[in-house]
Amino acid sequence: MTIVCRGIRGATTCDENTREAILEATRDLLQRIIAANGVRPEDIASAIFSTTPDLTAEFPAVAARELGWLDAALLCTHEMAVPGSLPRCIRVLIHWNTTRRAEEIVHVYIRGAHTLRPDRSAIQAPAETSGQ
């Protein structure tokens, strides 16, 4: 099988602009993406995290590092400040080296971000953690 680089998209929201809220929401999102796709840290080429301008207390990439994403290139940025857009939103685009076809990738939109992509939303209990 040929390994190609595929994108995995996801988004979530957090209740407040605190370090703890940003890291908890990001960890929850990443753990769901990992579980849904069988992602291993060594297969992640890079990830781009964005937040709405109202989230400034911490970089979401810190949560990825805490999950063991030590060799992947990570970048954090802000989304455009579009009037009426979803507040306190964290988005991620993961570049994943995989043998899966594009249609097999599971994109994850949770919490308030389910409104961004209702066709891909995953409203459920928090993802299982493995000692994290």
The residues carrying an active-site annotation are: 9, 65, 76, 79, 91, 109, 117
The rounded distance, in Å, linking the Cα atoms of 34 and 83 is 32
From CA 35, how far away is CA 55, in angstroms rounded? Answer: 26
Q: Are 93 and 45 in contact (CB under 8 A)?
A: no
Q: What DSSP character marks residue 106?
A: -
CA distance 32 to 110: 9
Q: How far is CA 32 from the centre of its chain?
A: 9
Strands 108-109 and 44-51: unpaired
